[in-house]
Amino acid sequence: MSGHPDPVAVGTLLRHVLELLDGDVAKVYEEQGLAEYRPRFSPVVRALVAEGPLSVRDVATRLGVTHSAASQTAAQMARAGLVTHTPDPRDARRRLIDLTPKARALLPRIEAEWEATRAAMAELDAELSMPLAALLTEVTEAVERRSFRERVVGAYRL
């Protein structure tokens, strides 16, 4: 037993790779005194830095995730004191997410980690047959053209 997931179990393999990468980035944050900060917060922080306050729906759209995933991440960030939820002045039914002063004060440290992660990813990509992001983009595009469900049903034999 090699200790690696079965390569045929692609979902397990993808989760394992994500756990390895995100787990190590989380350890770096913890070592830097940012134990409450999670790697999954970074895309939200980047969107809020670039665009200012956004609704959960807008965050979800910009990140390409479900509304539920964006909402869960925003709730975790709020519990960590990194974002606020305030009513949208243009639409009282919507709430806007924005960075707190605490999050803004952490931005230099967070941005330094982003740069280090980009450099580490470039180093890892140099060891791969193709850049990981390029491969995952290719997979996403292929599955958007024809869903994996359709592929499984098409291959299914009773």
- DSSP, residue by residue, 20-49: HHHHHHHHHHHHTT-TT--GGGHHHHHHHH
Identify the pLDDT of residue 1: 43
Identify the pLDDT of residue 3: 66
Describe the strand order of the beta sheet including 54-55 as a list of residue ranges: 54-55, 91-99, 83-88
Q: Per-residue confidence at 142, pLDDT binned at 50, 70, 90?
A: very high
Q: Per-residue confidence at 49, pLDDT binned at 50, 70, 90?
A: very high
From residue 21, how far is each of 14, 18, 96, 121, 126 by CA, in Å? 11, 5, 30, 10, 16
CA distance 46 to 73: 14
* Average pLDDT of the chain, as a whole number: 91
What mean pLDDT comes out for the span 90-102? 91
For residue 98, the surrounding DSSP H or E stretch is: strand 91-99
CA distance 53 to 100: 11
pLDDT at 158 over 60: no
